[in-house]
Amino acid sequence: MLGYLIEKEFKQIKRDWILPKLILIFPFIALILLPYAANFDIKDIRVVVVDNDKSSYSNQILNKLRANTSININYIEDTYAKAMDLIQEDRADMIINIPSGFEKDYIVNKNSKLLIAVNTVNGMKGSISAMYAQNIISDFSLEKNSSIQVINSPSMEIQPLYAFNKTLNYKFFMVPALMVMILTLICGFLPAFNIVGEKEKGNMEQINVSPITKPVFILSKLIPYWIIGAIVISIGFLVAWLFYGITPQGSIFTVYIFSFIFTLAISGLGLVLSNYAQTYQQAVFMMFFFIMILILMSGLYTPFNSMPPWAQAIGSFSPLKYFIDVMRCVYLKGSNIVELLPQLYALLGFVVVVNTWAILSYRKKN
């Protein structure tokens, strides 16, 4: 019985004028475009320097700044007020103010002060820019073996250790996670529209009056998207490798196993919503609501650990969170399945709960 139903699902998908194209093209386009939108590398920081010391040390600092590829010294001004005007006019992003007596303090007291002022209208760009500048200056002070107090910047000492992604390339971080998002969109939305579509067209009545059992019906909806999921994620692997040279540090089988489990969870969620929805419109809206929350709470764009505890608690109900974890760990750290057992259990838990729910919420009778 199941065989006939699965055959039917594939025929319908194949005959849809847009679905097969979308399933194949979507992962390509998304993986080629989105990593650039989600790029947090800050380039071309426009710096205005106010050098009141005009000493050899201040010169050395300027040279160090010039050597950094992310930082461009665009202006040199006499006064802080003039520099501030440039920030106001949005012609510069950061002021580096070297006070007079900087070199003297440095040599005599082994301690001198320097001001960094950053435009934080864009908070993300601002804090990263400040961090860059600060790193350069601490570098300098390490060389000279004395301390420079950087004012107006985070008070703690920042010593970033870029483990596992040494080039600090955001694509290595985003591409594996974006694959999860693509899988979610395709294997979550399509099943969500499937059952409700049959309701609207009247086919459901014919199915409900047949002796089909609920688990068989749900399986017949689940398995096709499971196979589509495997195709989508394979395209994802291929694009990551061909376009970005990104391949998993760990085993590709680990990634496949997890993507198979994840697809069952997210498709099951789509089916649950499809069971409750009476119309396409309702299904679209409900699915959009859930997917948006699941994606934004999953740590795809923002670090999961920097969310407040209550938000983390909500986020831990997102299967995406676990699969994104897995993808990043396998791609960047080369984790194996044993190290990822907590994520495995969590995802299996989702599969069981969501699909049981899908079977129970499918009503043949009202």
Partner 1 sequence: MMVKVSGMLRSSINYKFMEDVIVVRDLTKRFGHFVAVDNISFNVKKGEIFGFLGANGAGKTTAMRILCGLSRPTSGEASVGGFDIRHESEKIKKNIGYMSQKFSLYQDLKVWENIKLFAGIYGMKRNEIASKTDILLKELGFEKEKNTLVKDLPLGWKQKLAFSVAIFHNPKIVFLDEPTGGVDPITRRQFWEMIYNASQKGITVFVTTHYMDEAEYCDRISIMVDGRIEAMSSPKELKREYNAESIDEVFTLLATKSTRKEI
| Chain residues that interact with partner 1, rule: CB under 8 A | 1, 3-5, 7-8, 11-12, 15-16, 201-213, 364-366
CB nearer to partner 1: give 167 or 366: 366
Beta carbon of residue 43, minimum distance to partner 1 (angstroms, whole number): 50
Residues near 349 by Cβ (< 8 Å), separated by ≥ 6?
Answer: none
CB nearer to partner 1: give 125 or 364: 364
Annotate 17-34 with b (16+ C-beta within 10 A) or e (fewer).
eebeeebeeebeebbeeb
Beta carbon of residue 201, minimum distance to partner 1 (angstroms, whole number): 7
Measured in whole angstroms, how far is the alpha carbon of residue 85 from the centre of its chain?
A: 36
CB nearer to partner 1: give 129 or 220: 220
CB nearer to partner 1: give 64 or 364: 364
In 3D space, the residue among 328, 313, 298 whose CA is nearest the CA of residue 174 turns out to be 328
CB nearer to partner 1: give 27 or 224: 224
Beta carbon of residue 352, minimum distance to partner 1 (angstroms, whole number): 24
Provide the token pair at 84.
Answer: 């501030």
Beta carbon of residue 130, minimum distance to partner 1 (angstroms, whole number): 58
> Parallel, antiparallel, or unpaired for β 45-51 and 94-98?
parallel
Beta carbon of residue 211, minimum distance to partner 1 (angstroms, whole number): 4
Place of tokens 């017949």: 220
CB nearer to partner 1: give 141 or 194: 194
For residue 61, how many other CB atoms are within 10 A of its CB? 24
Place of tokens 């998304």: 30
Beta carbon of residue 17, minimum distance to partner 1 (angstroms, whole number): 10
φ, ψ of residue 182 to 5 degrees: the values are: -65, -45
Four-residue CA torsion sign, 237, 239, 241, 242: positive
